[in-house]
Amino acid sequence: MNAGYGLTVRWSLTQAPDDVADQLREYVVGTSIARFMFLDGLAFKVWRMREGEWFEGTYVFDSEQDRTQFREGFERGGQRSPGSGLIGSAPVLVEDWEVVAIAEGPAGFRRGAGPDVS
Asked if residue 104 belongs to a domain, the reply is no
Decide which of 118 and 89 is more confident.
Answer: 89
This prediction's pTM: 0.89
How many structural domains does the chain have? 1
Asked if residue 107 belongs to a domain, the reply is no
**CATH code of 72's domain:** 3.30.70.100
Among the listed ranges 52-56, 104-108, 110-114, which one has the minimum average pLDDT value? Answer: 110-114
Asked if residue 84 belongs to a domain, the reply is yes
Query: For the segment 74-104, what is each residue's pLDDT rounded down to a tens digit?
Result: 999 867 899 999 999 999 999 999 999 988 8
Please check whether residue 94 is in contact with residue 9, taking contact to mean a CB–CB distance below 8 angstroms: yes
Using alpha carbons only, how large is the chain's radius of gyration in Å? 14
Q: Can you give the residue range of the structural domain that contains 15?
A: 4-99
CB-based contacts of 81, cutoff 8 Å, min separation 6:
74
Asked if residue 86 belongs to a domain, the reply is yes
Asked if residue 109 belongs to a domain, the reply is no
- Percent of the chain scoring above 70 in pLDDT: 95
Asked if residue 90 belongs to a domain, the reply is yes
Asked if residue 117 belongs to a domain, the reply is no
Decide which of 37 and 1 is more confident.
Answer: 37
